[in-house]
């Protein structure tokens, strides 16, 4: 690819960028929703561990949805 300088600046993400972005999105999703779940656990008085588990799964699912929308197509 490097020997073709006239290549159109495409919208395709580079592999380094994609790998970094996938990891970052997943980590961000799990962290932020895990943290919110942990907070909710304290406020709502559900048994310890339930909130953080639900939050992390929700975060991971949202992150995967986001990844598919942003990078998948």
Query: Contact between 34 and another protein (CB under 8 A)?
Result: yes
Angle ∠(38,53,67) on CA atoms, nearest 5: 100
Q: Are 56 and 34 a contacting pair, CB within 8 Å?
A: yes
- Least Å distance between CB 40 and another protein? 14
With residue 53 as reference, give the H or E element that holds it: helix 50-67
Query: Contact between 47 and another protein (CB under 8 A)?
Result: no
Query: Contact between 51 and another protein (CB under 8 A)?
Result: no
Binding site for another protein (CB under 8 A): 1-2, 5, 8-11, 13-14, 16-34, 36, 38, 52, 56, 58-60, 62-73
């Amino acid at each position: 690819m490097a020997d073709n300088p006239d290549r159109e600046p495409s919208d395709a993400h580079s592999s380094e960028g994609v790998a970094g972005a996938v990891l970052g999105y997943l980590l961000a999703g799990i962290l932020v929703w895990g943290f919110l779940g942990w907070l909710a656990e304290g406020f709502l008085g559900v048994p310890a561990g339930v909130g953080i588990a639900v939050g992390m799964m929700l975060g991971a699912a949202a992150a995967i949805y986001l990844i598919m929308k942003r990078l998948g197509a």
